A and B are shown apart, each in its own frame.
Chain A
Amino acid sequence: MKSKSKRIAGYILLAVLVLVGGVAIYIYKEYNRKVKDTASLKTDFSLTAKILVDEFEKNDSLAGRKYLDKVIEVGGQVKDISKEDNGFLTVSLGDSTYSTSIRCSVDSTHSKELQLVKQNQLVLLKGICTGFNRDELLGSDVFLVRCVLINNN
């Protein structure tokens, strides 16, 4: 009788230990979780630069609700590429007759793939939408961050 209840107590202890261990591992993993590489993320929306620009131009709060924080694959013509002293690349996509563009800051671990991209070339990029900045003077922009190159032809 005594040994049976001891055995049960042992099982309970084991179960508690496994549970505590599981929670500890979960907390540890969650705490150390890194921001995922965009290349490995599932695409939520795939569209052209023009469509994305038009949606934000028409109604930025509506488009914001739809696209913010989402993984977007966007295809378009390279309007401009800027490289900073520290190698940080920003690719601007869109029609040259349009003042609004999609500004894609390139994930620094993937900037190599974009080194050869030239102005006016058609590219397909994937990034995360962080918002829209309306600017009558400089031209408005839809911002994508942590962008990676999907295709360049």
Chain B
Amino acid sequence: MSLKKYFLLMILFFVAGIGYGQRYFTKSGKIAFDATTPSSPEKIKGKSHTAVCVLDTKTGALQFSVLMKGFEFDRALMQEHFNENYVESDKFPKSEFRGTVTANDKINYTQDGKYKVEVKGTMTLHGESKEVVTNGELKVDNGKIKLEANFDVLLADYKVSIPGLVADKVSKIAKIEVDCALELFKN
């Protein structure tokens, strides 16, 4: 390819990039996981501060990616069990979500405001992918976007098995809490 063609192509990509819409992102999104049951001797709760999230405000495309080893627990033993026995983070280091904000065109991203949103897409955890739909809140605040959502994950859907010995101590349904503050991505 000649240099001129190459430059033309670069310009084309650049222009296409602008037209494509604006992306907002964070690399320090918070995702918490809670599998406490009434008969658990204590809270079974882990939290990650390192979730990566990207939202394209033009298309509503939304992506999450979180490293399983980044979940921190109060008790070391719980953290080890979570990684070794439950999510097998050596084999499946990452959990992902790829989807869209439905009714994205109803959101005015240029003005401060709060919206109830529905998000639809595919979640991958423990090497298993599943279609999910969840509700959350999207807040446009002074050029930043805050995303909050709470939803339940049936562990069996992702083939995360709980050993019989602790079956009544660990919830079969994990509560997931998402809290991300996104900033405008500047190239």
Contact = CB atoms under 8 A, between A and B. Distances in A.
A145 B75 contact: no
A132 B77 CA distance: 24
A32 B42 CA distance: 11
A82 B181 CA distance: 12
B79 A143 contact: no
B98 to A, nearest CB: 13
Contact of A88 (B23, B49, B68): B49
User: For chain A, which range describes its interface: under 10, 10 to 19, 20 to 34, or 35 or more residues?
Assistant: 20 to 34
A68 interface: yes
A105 B52 contact: no
For chain B, what secondary structure do more than half of its interface residues adopt (helix, strand, loop), or is it mixed? strand
Interface in B61-102: 65, 67-70, 72-77, 79, 90, 93-94
B27 A138 contact: yes
B70 A34 contact: no
Contact of A137 (B23, B72, B73, B75): B23
Contacts of A35: 72-76, 79
B28 A82 contact: yes
Interface of B: 23, 25, 27-28, 49-50, 52, 54, 65, 67-70, 72-77, 79, 90, 93-94, 181, 185
12 contacts: A35-B73, A35-B75, A69-B69, A82-B28, A105-B50, A130-B67, A133-B52, A137-B54, A138-B54, A141-B52, A145-B50, A146-B72
